[in-house]
Chains A and B, each alone.
Chain A
């Protein structure tokens, strides 16, 4: 067991690092039109102000918050597998958050100005301000935890206050993210007090799927390289958590669609009708919802391959769901008359896709390199060392 653990600790990290670097370089090169032409490189415009970069930002941010929420709930309840993976999951949350911030910065007209203009002007009625407050506290508290955990004898379950702070700030960030859309009375697809709750329900399966996928990638897709606690978590507990999270999400998804189709509200049901007529929606339904639900329901002890397929399917499905939500809310033109004859047509430009690639690749780079930068060696090495210490 010991030799297996130590032999497998280097290679998976390197593979992930190489892939992440290649993707990041492709993404950065693909951003050239944005640097040379500015916002003209995007297909979004005044009729549809928020396009794929905002979808990416929302997706990565929700992923980060959800991983942290599950992770900290595990720490607070002293779930052994999650306690063992706490460093790695914190790093994943941090990477996703930084990827989200970079995607947002590439979308903003003046990202550097926002650093001083938001805190100095304090528009307390804007959810964006509160999201910034929660997000800043969240990142700072995660960094404090990561630095403190450099000592392999330190355990976050012995610092419940810090874990609670990360949990509360992650929840705050997630809810204010939902509030950004939920308070828009003029956008019927988004509007409603349940929108922040919908964001939480949609984020949890994403967080669990990301956690499962990246843990297995880091262990080189080998369960035997994991400590027993982590094996139990990845092979047994996480699929059960995912099944419950996906079941709740699926019910919410069905509820949103049926409400959207049945309502006669001006500018609401036309969007859902349009969505249901698209191949993307049915791809989401079959690949992003039915497939993972079936795998989670019928495969009692999922193999690594099944777990990976399930995780990837959920992640893709929830990315499409974010896309449909963010773009769908803007499809009905506001006072454009005959200039916009029907619903607004939008397809992301290649540069917008490169923003997505850059944000996602950066998140993986931070995750893949973070453990080495912060701890000098792979995190699971420390985790296994702890397991061995306890066993002896």
Chain B
């Protein structure tokens, strides 16, 4: 059984948000429900200010606090190490959102980010069972894995495109979007990344490209001190950085 993980090279990332768009299209998320986002950070003051960006999917932690706190086991971790949500069990208590150090979980029943509300524009006739009905709908709907159009009153998050990666041929060490035989199994964000800043593979396989990148380029994980052990690694190199929160309303 593989242990799927992702490597993101911050030196290569251009902040184009193609990954964010691809994720939104693939998984039918509404504006603001960014399972995958590229975050922008400005540090310092003119003339020595810097502008950084950080792609941020779900970290798919090895020891996920969201799984520990969920009172109904709606959030669970699969044998291949992907953290998923069973929408049939989720009671919408949002404790997992509180417990996630990375802010990558979203509640499907809240004020719209933009008006008009896209859920009203593409209104569903299935009531609470489907919060909206966009023109394209992920055909792999599976509520037990949190895949498809979200029902009301539950929490949603990135699945590492589980409907794709779970069908990958056995024994594959890396899901390389350049390989025509594997491209269909590659997560949407990795497949769309124009500068090829994202890599996806088996962290348990010592020969996988992702493992080599982590080893050779000193991959780091976000907020390791929380004990969650993310399976998303960042290659910061010389140009990239992982920013911390600063209250910019105060400094400005």
Interface residues of B in 75-132 (CB under 8 A from A): 89-95, 97-107, 109-112
Q: Is A38 an interface residue (CB 8 A)?
A: yes
Please state if B72 and A114 are interface contacts (CB–CB under 8 Å): yes
Q: Is B170 an interface residue (CB 8 A)?
A: no
**Distance of A118 Cα from B70 Cα, bound (Å):** 9
Residues of A within 8 A of B104 (CB): 335
**Distance of A44 Cα from B90 Cα, bound (Å):** 19
Residues of A within 8 A of B112 (CB): 40
Q: Is A50 an interface residue (CB 8 A)?
A: yes
Interface residues of A in 124-175 (CB under 8 A from B): 125-129, 132
Partner of B102, one of A39, A111, A334, A338: A334
Contact A132/B245 with A39-B110, A46-B97, A121-B89 known, Cβ cut-off 8 Å:
no
Interface residues of A in 200-249 (CB under 8 A from B): none
Q: Is B195 an interface residue (CB 8 A)?
A: no
Q: Is B223 an interface residue (CB 8 A)?
A: yes
Residues of A within 8 A of B103 (CB): 46-47, 333-336
Q: Is B33 an interface residue (CB 8 A)?
A: yes
Q: Is A332 an interface residue (CB 8 A)?
A: yes
**Distance of A342 Cα from B245 Cα, bound (Å):** 9
Q: Which one, B38-46, B185-193, B209-217, is touching chain A? A: B38-46
Q: Is A109 an interface residue (CB 8 A)?
A: yes
Partner of A39, one of B39, B54, B107: B107
Please state if B89 and A108 are interface contacts (CB–CB under 8 Å): no
A interface bracket (residues with beta carbon within 8 Å of B): 35 or more
**Distance of A118 Cα from B103 Cα, bound (Å):** 24
Partner of A38, one of B68, B109, B225, B227: B109
**Distance of A111 Cα from B154 Cα, bound (Å):** 11
Residues of B within 8 A of A341 (CB): 248-249
Contact A126/B95 with A109-B152, A337-B41 known, Cβ cut-off 8 Å:
yes
Please state if B71 and A123 are interface contacts (CB–CB under 8 Å): yes
Q: Is A391 an interface residue (CB 8 A)?
A: no
**Distance of A205 Cα from B112 Cα, bound (Å):** 40
Q: Is B153 an interface residue (CB 8 A)?
A: yes
Please state if B98 and A40 are interface contacts (CB–CB under 8 Å): no
**Which of B53, B103, B223, B249 is packed against the most chain A CB atoms within 10 Å?**
B103
Please state if B92 and A108 are interface contacts (CB–CB under 8 Å): yes
Please state if B95 and A180 are interface contacts (CB–CB under 8 Å): yes
Closest chain A residue to B51, Cβ basis: A338
**Distance of A45 Cα from B71 Cα, bound (Å):** 20
Closest chain B residue to A121, Cβ basis: B73
Please state if A43 and B70 are interface contacts (CB–CB under 8 Å): no
Contact A338/B39 with A43-B111, A49-B107, A128-B69 known, Cβ cut-off 8 Å:
yes
Q: Is B179 an interface residue (CB 8 A)?
A: no
Please state if A332 and B245 are interface contacts (CB–CB under 8 Å): yes
**Distance of A341 Cα from B246 Cα, bound (Å):** 9
**Distance of A338 Cα from B70 Cα, bound (Å):** 29
**Distance of A332 Cα from B94 Cα, bound (Å):** 17
**Distance of A239 Cα from B73 Cα, bound (Å):** 46
Closest chain A residue to B56, Cβ basis: A335
Q: Is B244 an interface residue (CB 8 A)?
A: yes
Q: Is B226 an interface residue (CB 8 A)?
A: yes
**Which of B71, B89, B92 is packed against the most chain A CB atoms within 10 Å?**
B71
Q: Which one, A78-86, A181-189, A278-286, is touching chain B? A: A181-189
**Distance of A390 Cα from B145 Cα, bound (Å):** 66
**Distance of A187 Cα from B100 Cα, bound (Å):** 10
Please state if B153 and A39 are interface contacts (CB–CB under 8 Å): yes
Residues of B within 8 A of A49 (CB): 94, 97-98, 107
**Which of B40, B93, B244 is packed against the most chain A CB atoms within 10 Å?**
B93
Partner of A270, one of B89, B153, B247: B247
Partner of A126, one of B69, B92, B101: B69
Contact A117/B74 with A49-B107, A334-B102, A338-B40 known, Cβ cut-off 8 Å:
yes
CB distance from B53 to the nearest CB of A (A): 8
CB distance from B144 to the nearest CB of A (A): 13
Partner of A342, one of B40, B74, B222, B249: B249
Please state if B107 and A109 are interface contacts (CB–CB under 8 Å): yes
Residue pairs across A and B with Cβ atoms less than 8 A apart, 29 shown, are A39-B152, A40-B110, A40-B111, A42-B111, A46-B33, A46-B97, A46-B106, A49-B107, A108-B92, A109-B91, A110-B91, A110-B92, A114-B71, A114-B93, A117-B72, A117-B74, A118-B72, A121-B74, A121-B89, A123-B71, A126-B71, A128-B95, A266-B244, A270-B247, A334-B101, A336-B103, A337-B39, A338-B42, A342-B249
10 A-B pairs with least C-beta separation: A109-B92, A109-B153, A337-B39, A342-B249, A334-B103, A39-B109, A186-B101, A128-B71, A117-B72, A49-B94
* Chain B residues within 8 Å of A, Cβ to Cβ: 32-33, 37, 39-42, 53-54, 56, 65, 68-74, 89-95, 97-107, 109-112, 152-155, 222-223, 225-227, 243-245, 247-250
Contacts A109-B93, A117-B72, A122-B73 aside, 17 further interface pairs with beta carbons under 8 A come to A39-B152, A39-B153, A45-B107, A45-B110, A49-B97, A109-B107, A110-B91, A114-B72, A118-B72, A186-B223, A187-B98, A332-B245, A333-B245, A337-B41, A337-B243, A338-B40, A342-B248
